């Protein structure tokens, strides 16, 4: 095996599709953490589950003779990014981060910037609000400490614990008109979002803009400083410079 793609983002699956389409097909493997049970079908062989920290990842990379790693995890997956950087430096394996750009605020957006999840909870304030949480299952539980609000929480997997409000199971991409209808029907007055970037979930921002709703936008966590590209095409060029694709 030569290329390990740390997956979890749309870009990881897109790159896998592109790699699977060439002949002879390069040896490559997609790795998932295993947070979602029904993994969409992938174009390349996959493995699921953590490696066991930096040491486990180092053992895996050595045992599989990995020649290059592409960290295409979600921009909020911080630990995996640092583990990959440390393991690749130790083994002298080239590492590229494939990370889409964050969303940029437009003049007609009303964004309230939050540094992290706790900051976002504080930004909701003490008065009861009707909040649309579009942040993924893992972080939703933290909002249990602000019980004065009513929440519409959307995630792919069920919530671990009940929240004051309603839970919706859904996987993007979403359409702006559906997002607008959803926010209207639940009388949402504020949206909480991570700055994930990309097109699959940006419709909520369009809807919030149209409805003139504020959005608490959570900034990305810092990630290791490694060579980084924003597009699958640029990742392809990087693979080509390492002689791994034509």
List residues near ligand NAP by CB under 6 A: 6-9, 31-33, 35, 50-53, 56-57, 73-74, 76-80, 83, 136, 194
CB nearer ligand NAP, residue 35 or residue 113: 35
**Shortest spacing between CB 69 and ligand NAP, in angstroms:** 11
Shortest CB 51 distance to ligand NAP, Å: 4
- At its nearest, how many Å lie between ligand NAP and the CB of residue 122? 20
Residue 149 exposure: Cα atoms within 13 Å on the Cβ side: 29
Answer yes or no: are the C-beta atoms of 131 and 190 closer than 8 Å: yes
From CA 204, how far away is CA 99, in angstroms rounded? 21
Q: How far is the CB of 147 from ligand NAP (least distance, A)?
A: 23
Q: Which residues contact 98 (CB under 8 A, 6 or more apart)?
A: 9, 11, 12, 15, 70, 71, 72, 228, 229, 230, 231, 232, 234, 235
CB of 8 to ligand NAP, least distance (A): 2
Nearer Cβ to ligand NAP (34/243): 34
Q: In 3D, which of 108, 93, 8, 25 has the Cα closest to residue 54?
A: 93
Residue 89: enclosing H or E segment and its boundaries? helix 78-91
Residue sitting closest to ligand NAP (CB): 8
């Amino acid at each position: 095996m030569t290329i390990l793609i740390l997956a979890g983002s749309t870009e990881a699956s897109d790159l896998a599709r592109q790699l699977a389409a060439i002949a002879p097909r390069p040896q490559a493997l997609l790795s998932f953490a295993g947070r979602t049970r029904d993994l969409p079908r992938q174009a390349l062989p996959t493995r699921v589950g953590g490696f066991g920290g930096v040491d486990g990842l180092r053992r895996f990379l050595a045992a599989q003779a990995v020649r290059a790693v592409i960290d295409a995890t979600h921009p909020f997956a911080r630990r995996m990014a640092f583990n990959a950087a440390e393991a690749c430096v130790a083994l002298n394996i080239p590492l590229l981060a494939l990370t889409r750009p964050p969303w940029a605020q437009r003049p007609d957006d009303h964004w309230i910037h939050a540094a992290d999840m706790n900051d976002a909870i504080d930004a909701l304030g003490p008065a009861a609000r009707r909040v649309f949480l579009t942040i993924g299952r893992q972080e939703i539980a933290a909002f249990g400490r602000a019980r004065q609000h009513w929440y519409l929480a959307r995630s792919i997997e069920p919530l671990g614990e009940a929240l004051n409000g309603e839970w919706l199971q859904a996987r993007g991409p979403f359409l702006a008109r559906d997002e607008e209808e959803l926010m209207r029907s639940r009388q949402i007055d504020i949206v909480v979002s991570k700055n994930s970037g990309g097109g699959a979930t940006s419709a909520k921002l369009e809807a919030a803009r149209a409805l003139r709703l504020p959005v608490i936008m959570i900034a990305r966590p810092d990630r290791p400083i490694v060579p980084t590209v924003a597009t699958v095409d640029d990742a392809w060029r990087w693979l080509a410079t390492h002689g791994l694709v034509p």
